[in-house]
Structure 1
């Protein structure tokens, strides 16, 4: 039987995005103060974040009950991006691998619509084999064409660019990934849908 591991809904993703409105992204990208300090507690409290780790990349529980990872190479600063898993399904047996893809077919439009309800229409949205699938503006945002076609990842993608000419606004992606075993007949697979928030080069502006 398939297992959905996040316990989150599309409406929960909309709440997470609403919670990011007004974030001082310059402060986030600069990284948090030393863990355990009053300054660190104040920094997390500013956004309603409850820290869940004190080592490696900082993981926080948000005021909406979700989990968010601040990627910084394990040194906390500078922060290069945030990841929130909106959906994850795992198969118990190889025979369920086709069901993983079917579950993603159902989940993706609902989760995408939740993101659109907050962020507006994406610049682009589509599947891994789309003829007009764009190259990433920065290599860390998503796989380039050769890797994407070899791995079928991102399996689906939507992205939102910063608006206007102002440096510092954030770059959002919503990405479905499918684990390689999902395409096999002998190993259980799985799939995730993740929201990523990136700091483009020079990004230091409040959204």
Structure 2
């Protein structure tokens, strides 16, 4: 469909090979950041992680972490109780089942506590440049406002976007995240500044 192709091209043109705003130095830090970022802002995660990674610099130290101590480092993060438990379980599983090496395939990543499809895809997108789409709240909102999907779940929305866009999914995912975060915001979207305004028929559109 011509309109969908235009949307894709404009995303790729306006966001030149975008990457996540999460700050990380290695694969271990990436997976922890992505797990913490679920239903939490990247900005908040970036405030938490410097001290967290000082205390737990690698997967082994995280696997051996004391739960209460770990919670104290991430308590300003949403759902920190669950996340702390999942981080330790995830690290233990990597040490026990994968010789301390974080797996880089979707099936093995999804076998880890606290790692669902979106988290697995974001890790593979950011670390490997994998041709995956991941649907967070921003991507979900943007894809529905642009009438790219009518699906009720993030997983089904991901299927729609993957079918429509086919390639460059890693860049398109991140472009849609940034677009949703700063332009096509949940409240008061910046429609007058939007490069997709002429292709948008959303009821949320502010003229």
The one of the two structures with greater contact order (alpha-carbon pairs below 8 A, sep at least 6) is 1
Higher relative helix content: 2
TM-score (norm 2): 0.24
Give TM-score scaled by structure 1 length: 0.24
Greater fraction strand: 1
